[in-house]
Homo-oligomer: A and B are copies of this chain.
Amino acid sequence: MDLTLTPSTEDYLKAIYEISQEKRVVRIKDLADKLKVKMSSVANAVKQLANKELIVHEHYGYIELTDKGFEVGKSLYERHLVLYKFLTQILQVEPGIASKDACSIEHYLHKETVERIVKLLDFISTAPNSTPQWMIKFKKFLETGVSECRYAKTLDRLEVGTKAKIKSIRLESTIKKRLMDMGVIKGETIKLTKKAPLGDPIEIEVKGYKLSLRKKDAKQIEIEEV
């Protein structure tokens, strides 16, 4: 019996588990409302889950979890909770967004990754003082610390004699090909060797070669100082 579930069927099973914990019975309509889909879509999914023997569903009747279904549904629900807690408690994401994000990503994360998150949550809750110092600092940092969206520095603004690493190149293909043949590639380290009076052209050194560039082209090369 193949118990593999698609993201969509996982959603249905998780929802069945949740409703079964809140209401006396689970109906197609409840699922349609909860998942914001039409009843016919639910009917389809329910058939699949029944084929996998995770639920039992009789015509025009209620939906019930089998033992296996209960177990799987519960673990799906718990995985969701872990992600939700992580997003809200650690990353300080708003509940509404956290809930949506948890829903979308829960299907895709490896078991190992979720394990790490569980451990991080554990680590924080078992810290000597309930909220660890760093988290308090992080919260403050969130309020004040503008995550500097620094200007991307471009090659034309590099100073003569200094080195930098290439971060990205945005040039018309003929020029780009020529440069790439000389070794001007993402990650490569280059040195600005000379600048003409008005900064045009400039001369750079890469892999021992020296080559000359127009300022307008140099402007299209993003760098990162080293």
What are 15 A-B residue pairs whose CB atoms fall within 8 Å in the complex? Answer: A21-B168, A21-B186, A24-B177, A24-B180, A67-B170, A74-B168, A98-B113, A101-B109, A108-B108, A119-B142, A120-B138, A122-B147, A123-B141, A126-B145, A132-B134
Apart from A21-B168, A122-B147, list 6 A-B contacts with CB within 8 A: A21-B185, A22-B185, A24-B173, A62-B173, A100-B110, A104-B108
Chain A residues numbered 111-148 whose CB sits less than 8 Å from any CB in chain B? 112-113, 115-120, 122-123, 126, 132-134, 137-138, 141-142, 145, 147-148
Q: Residue among A25, A62, A65, A93 with the most chain B CB within 10 A?
A: A93
A94 at the interface (CB under 8 A from B): yes
Decide if the interface of chain A is mainly helix, strand, loop or mixed.
helix
Whether A97 and B123, one on each chain, are in contact in the complex, defined by CB atoms closer than 8 angstroms, is no
The answer to whether A105 touches B116 (Cβ under 8 A) is no
> In the complex this chain forms, how many copies of it are found?
2
Contact between chains at A110 and B97 (CB < 8 Å): yes
Task: Determine whether A156 belongs to the interface, using a CB cutoff of 8 Å to chain B.
Answer: no
> Is A181 located at the chain interface by the 8 A CB criterion?
yes
A192 on interface, CB distance cutoff 8 Å = no
Which A-B residue pairs are the 6 nearest by beta carbons?
A: A104-B108, A91-B116, A21-B186, A105-B105, A134-B134, A24-B177
Contacts of A101 in B (CB 8 A): 108-110, 113
Contacts of A117 in B (CB 8 A): 91
Q: For A64, what are the chain B residues with a Cβ–Cβ distance below 8 Å?
A: 173
* B-chain residues with CB within 8 Å of residue A120 when the two chains form the complex: 90-91, 138
Asked whether, in the complex, the Cβ of A116 is within 8 Å of the Cβ of B104, the reply is no
Question: What 1/0 mask marks residues of chain A from 53 to 67 whose CB sits below 8 Å from any chain B CB?
Answer: 000000000101101
Residues of B within 8 A of A24 (CB): 173, 176-177, 180-181
Nearest Cβ on chain B to A116's Cβ, whole angstroms: 4
Q: How far is the CB of A194 from chain B (nearest CB, A)?
A: 26
